[in-house]
Amino acid sequence: MRHRKLASLIGIGVLTALLCSCTASTSLLTNEGSLPPADHSSSAKVVVTSDFGKEIFIEETIVISENTTALDALQQVAGVETKYGGGFVSAINSIGSEYEGANQQKKDWFFYINGMSTNIGAGQYILQDGDIEHWDFRGWGFRQFVPAIIGDFPEPFLHGYGGVVYPTIIIHQDGWEEDAQRIADKLSQLGVESIYTRGINELSTDEKSSCNLILLGESNFQPIEEINQPWNRLGFYCYFEDSCLQVFDSVGESAAEYEGKAGVIQATQSPWNPKGIGVCENVVWMVSGLDKAGIKAAVNTLVNHDNDFQYTGAIVIASGDTVRVPQ
């Protein structure tokens, strides 16, 4: 009887041990075999430059929360001084408002989100995942308002503004269909969605006013002529005049005049948006030139050498060189 009782106890003990062992082993396998939770944190890139990217002070990607403002992000990576109740950034890392040069041009900090000059203060703009927050210290005697720059490419085609991304349409002159598709393919490779190519006669009035547009063609291409005429109001540093490309420096002095085989890429916020320029909705990029060779050079730079125009305002491509504009 005692033997049977002992045997029963031993059996129960062994069974308990086995169950515990199995439980422990299962737990161990679960812990070791499971993948770590996916990182769903949002991030934004903070860039601080001077003179349209001639000098880069800060390039840092940071984790952001759902309520992180552009000012919060800047304060994470730099020392910041503000005025007017925090609504105006007056200095970054002790670099602040100043006058320079013989004409005593005023220099200040200008603020872009995804290549668009913002219409609200840094303390009001809530950063979105993937945003590029770009501060540039530059003179504004000639250009106080530069609505858009090309240097944060592929923005704003990728992330838009405030989390709203408008479709992108590449409007091409006749004969430039293949190059329009090359640009579309480049944008697609970079993650941009809702990309279309159109001839000018295929573009609807609604698309013209509400979409991001890339205008591809010669200087006499109708939509390029439309934005070339008010070049000053649109914040350009380049414009076509009498079969030449005129280029200005940061103080409004003539920097160069090109007569042939020159291409240009520059941007503005859409003048066809009925809400006006500066509403931070859609942009218009010009990819053009004085002749076919110049336009081809502009397309090749956009598709294959986008690092050549990182953080700058615009570019001219001439004699195989990429010239950052303004100089």
pLDDT-based confidence at 61, cuts 50/70/90?
very high
In angstroms, the CA 248 to CA 246 distance is 7
200-207 long-range contacts (CB < 8 A, ≥24 apart) are 200/171, 200/173, 203/169, 203/171, 207/167, 207/169
DSSP 151: T
pLDDT in the model for residue 104: 66
**pLDDT averaged over the chain?**
89
- More confident call, 106 vs 131: 131
Place of tokens 């279309």: 196
What mean pLDDT do residues 200-205 have?
98
Orientation of helix 292-304 relative to helix 177-189, angle to 10°: 10
pLDDT-based confidence at 56, cuts 50/70/90?
very high
Helices (H), the chain: 2-33, 70-77, 177-189, 205-210, 222-228, 292-304
213 near 285, Cβ under 8 Å? yes
Query: How large a percentage of the chain has pLDDT more than 90?
Result: 81
Domain ranges of the chain: 42-139, 168-325
Query: How large a percentage of the chain has pLDDT more than 70?
Result: 86
In angstroms, the CA 215 to CA 284 distance is 7
Tokens of 258: 């090109």
Q: CATH: 3.30.379, 2.60.120, 3.30.160, 3.40.50. Which one for 168-325?
A: 3.30.379
pLDDT-based confidence at 40, cuts 50/70/90?
low
User: Does 3.10.450.50 match the CATH number of domain 42-139?
Assistant: no
